[in-house]
Structure 1
């Protein structure tokens, strides 16, 4: 895959192509040492009719909501759409046979000038669908549950925790992944301190009980999932109902199927939680993956 990078000036509503491998970000940018910014990652599916940016509108709606939560300037959708389209064109020109890839786009608060003002900085670049992702789609994943450290539904009492915002502050998420790996699991599953199942570090959870799909309520303390919403949109076509619910660990362990869903992985079966085997529905997994790829 080619390594283009578009640097975005949200204030001037312009962007320029440069090299992802070259140094671009000043260390004084607040994203570099505070994680003070927002991002999204979209899956691009290439077909005979061109590129499909999966959940494009939902991702940007969340991007805009994250900006509002951090009190960043409202992103210009027309500008960011042009950035994404140009990036797709660059990747497709470099590799006409490419089937799918991701695009990560971000906006930082930027740097503070002598007068205390900030000038936001943005960027976008392609990310590959690597072998780890492809393997998880086929073979599923295992997980260990981890205490998230706060009670469910705390976000309404403590909006400064930015629970519903997709920020660049992912140190905790990365640490959870390393902890899971050290304990012989592929993923972590966050649980509130009072026992409500939340999400994975980079994925939402869906379970099936009979003909019902269930997922944790975003208000409980997790990021609202674009992929989860897309799958729920198609639940009726699959002969299923879909709803939000407060789930406990036993609900997941005894489910008729469980999945981690995210933009890049689409839907991967959760086959084991805390050493307990979970039923795997391979047919439904394949249907979920097809729904997501179709966008």
Structure 2
């Protein structure tokens, strides 16, 4: 990540978005040592890819941001303020890079002053998805340690919220690297496919493009939704349903979909080769890059 622009949001004002934003040096300190985002990971975030100054799928990201805030009992985000912060960062990114991203974050605030939430929007150039297109990935399956119905049986585990508590996800990625792989697909203890640490799974099974449902405690995939929209427009069959591990291993092709990488094809799964459909991958990423909002 190469930080390029940073805006602090004044969450305690009803001012217009432009007046509630303060541009700060992205390489300077922003938080106090007692901010709950740093001390407890108590907050939420979203990352929006920006192509030629245009934030992609911004409204679905804001929808998910509001949903995560509600799940964590955080103050309801003032949508126009957060939209304004992303647009301001995106406009600055346009001057630096044709392809960047904006991460926007809501923290519960300072432990010493819990009435005051903290918010910021960081514009950066991602290390992933270089000009050569989405990377081909070697992926391992890792057991998440929960049944597929954990979101219903244990809602306090916050499955399906995009929180700042990413220690488990980062540990999973380190385990993947120890096994000589790039990324991870989580599975449930009862054998269902879930999601990646920062991606949504799409597999082509018997000619149908499938993705697991969010009621398995998964994040709603904004990029996956746009992938399905493109596929549907081309006349392809899509389905949102439970996918078991055996189906994934036998799939015609597999992708991990995320904002910064787009639709990244899986070339191996636990060391077994997976066919990469380069033509479909290129078409999907062209469609993603062509989005206007």
TM-score by length of 2: 0.93
- Cα deviation for residue 136 of structure 1 reads 8.5
Worse-superposed segment, 272-281 or 63-72: 272-281
In structure 2, what is the Cα distance between the partners aligned to 1:120 and 1:136? 40
- Aligned runs of 1:201-220 on 2, under 5 Å? 201-220=197-216
Contact (CA 8 Å) 2:134, 2:261: kept in 1 or not?
no
Q: Does 1:15 align with 2:40?
A: no
Shift of 1:233: 1.6
CA offsets per residue over residues 134-179 of structure 1, 9 Å max, x none? Answer: 3894541011110001000210121111111100000000000000
State yes or no: 1:120 paired with 2:117.
Answer: yes
Match of 2:239 in 1: 243
Q: 2:149 aligns with which of 136, 149, 153?
A: 153
| Distance in 2 between residues matched to 1:136 and 1:263, nearest whole Å | 16
Contact 2:134 2:262 in 1 (8 A): no
- 1:57-108 deviation line (CA, Å, top 9, x unaligned): 1000000000000001111111111111211222234x2xx21100000000
Change (3 A) 1:35 1:281: same
RMSD: 1.6
Which range moved further: 84-93 or 157-166? Answer: 84-93
5+ residue gaps, structure 1? none
Please say if 1:29 is aligned against 2:28: no
Deviates more, 1:121-130 or 1:31-40: 121-130
- Count of residue pairs brought into register by the alignment: 285
Answer whether contact 1:52 1:294 (CA < 8 A) is retained.
no
Structure 1 residue 198, shift from structure 2 partner: 0.3
Q: Match of 2:116, SS?
A: strand
Check whether the contact 2:5–2:123 (CA below 8 A) recurs between aligned residues. Answer: yes
Contact 2:34 2:112 in 1 (8 A): no
Q: Of the candidates 40, 45, 48, which is equivalent to residue 51 of structure 2?
A: 45
Residues 232-260 of structure 1: CA distance to partner in whole angstroms, max 9, x if unpaired?
12222222121112112221121111100
CA distance in 1, matches of 2:134, 2:153: 40
Q: Distance in 2 between matches of 1:147 and 1:90?
A: 41
User: 1:175-212 deviations in whole A, cap 9, x for unaligned?
Assistant: 00000001101111100011111011110100112431
Q: TM-score, normalised by structure 1?
A: 0.92
Q: Distance in 1 between matches of 2:3 and 2:179?
A: 35
How do residues 216-227 of structure 1 correspond to structure 2 at under 5 angstroms? 216-227=212-223
Q: Answer with 196-205 or 80-89: which moved more.
A: 80-89
Q: Aligned-pair distance for 1:280?
A: 1.3
Note if 1:231 corresponds to 2:232: no
Q: Give the direction of change, closer, same or farther, for the CA distance of 1:88–1:109 in structure 2 (3 Å limit).
A: same
Q: Matched residue of 2:193: which SS?
A: coil
Q: What residue is the counterpart of 1:180 in the other structure?
A: 176
- Residue in 1 aligned with 2:78? 76
Q: Which residue matches 2:17?
A: none
SS in 2 for 1:118: coil
Instruction: Give yes or no for contact 1:191–1:198 (8 Å, CA) kept in 2.
Output: yes
Alignment equivalent of 1:56, drawn from 55, 58, 65:
58
Q: Where does structure 2 lack aligned partners over 5 or more consecutive residues? A: 15-19
Preserved CA contact (<8 Å) 1:137 1:267: no
The DSSP-based 3-state class of the residue aligned with 1:250 is helix
How far off is 1:11 after superposition?
2.0
Aligned CA distance change for structure 1 residues 143 and 135 (closer, same or farther; 3 Å): farther
